[in-house]
Amino acid sequence: MTVSPARRAAYEVVRRVFEDGAYADRVLRSASTGLDERERAFARQLAYGTVQRMRTLDHAIGTLGRRPVRKLDPPVLAALRLGAYQLGYLDVAPHAAANESVELVRSARLERAVPFTNAVMRRLAEGIEALLAGLPEGPLKHSYPDWIYDVWVRDFCEADALALMRAQNEPPETVVRLVRGDVDGEPTDVPGAYRVTRVDDAALAAGRIWPQSRGSQLAALAVGSREGERILDSCAAPGGKATMLQGDVTAVEINVARARELEENTRRLGATNVHVVRADATDLPRELDGFDRALVDAPCSGLGVLASRPDLRWRATPLPELQLALLRAAAERVRPGGTIVYSVCTPNADENERVVDGSALEVDSTLAEEWPQFRHPRRPEFLLTLPHVHRTSGFFIARLRV
């Protein structure tokens, strides 16, 4: 029996993510080369779903397979995870999931593990549905590290924590920013953001649209930049927000490859007002000074974009010290009376309001008056988009005065 191209591509993604620490989206791009649109969509669903549900799948494999997953060869575990995901979460024929998982193990030249894989897949087919249904509500059932659940219970409540976990196990809405021309999509509550059924590759290649969530676009709009102003974007790659800003924009990026990507994207989108500078945003070159406004879209744990980045929940790390350093560095380069927008794609108070409070900068509460539908539930002077409430990525946004 041969393995379907979609399952083989998904298998490569799962293996690379958990064996090599690779990023799922990057591996999928290369692994799905040559697949037609339907196969590519199925490969993405299989790969992302399996990576996302890893904790729950491992529990099912260990319980029904009667062997700890840590003792399994990585290629065998990857095949079992892929098969368990199909049996537990997709409407696929059990024999197809089982047979192709066995063939994946065989293709990895682990013939000795074929009988074991076959036996475990049979047990999963018989028992996974009941096992999943019997799991109590919480991070094991929804496949999250305990610490993420604990943060959300602390910052919101248990009901919201569960709702956040459920929402980010579902595919996110597909939204693009209209750069120029028109788009076949539905306008949203964020100007310039359109909900589409799929990203038009031709329009993307021509720089007419840019895939970007409503929450991300909101962060750039909050800057309120105008023609004639000097704007600093201190963590600019890949450029979605930088290319939304008006005025003379200095886009800073420390990583060589990401700075190159940023330059390519600014050219594609026709953002001739954006000038890329490769530098450390915590230690900016002396000449970068006197800006009217700054955007500090800081690196973070990314707990608001877990729906689109399935592997991130297993590698996420809060970065409050770096975020505060970036915010303070930007404040030193903005003129007195200027403003800074601080944004992070994570609903986590440690990286949100506590960083702002630690900066001692004055909060501009008019931001929440401009966008009342996104007002922070506990700190109404800030904005907080929430996946389970606003159906977009989770962004914390504060506007501060220097």
Compute CA distances 310 → 44, 302, 303, whole Å: 11, 11, 11
What is the C-alpha radius of gyration for the chain, rounded to an integer number of angstroms?
23
* Pairing mode of beta strands 248-253, 334-344: unpaired
Structure tokens at 263: 């330059």
* Pairing mode of beta strands 193-195, 186-187: antiparallel
Catalytic, out of 157, 235, 300, 345: 345
Size (the chain), residues: 402
Query: What letter would DSSP give residue 227?
Result: T
| Three-state DSSP class for residue 55 | helix
* Pairing mode of beta strands 291-297, 334-344: parallel
DSSP H helical ranges for 156-222:
158-167, 201-205, 214-221
Q: E strands of 279-368, at which residues?
A: 291-297, 334-344, 362-363
The answer to whether 107 and 79 are in contact (CB under 8 A) is no
Q: E strands of 279-345, at which residues?
A: 291-297, 334-344
Helix, strand, coil % in the chain, rounded to nearest 5: 50, 15, 40
157 has catalytic annotation? no
Compute CA distances 379 → 9, 96, 199, 248, 277, whole Å: 45, 51, 35, 32, 34
Q: Return d(Cα 32, Cα 82) in angstroms, integer.
A: 16
Q: Which residues are catalytic?
A: 345
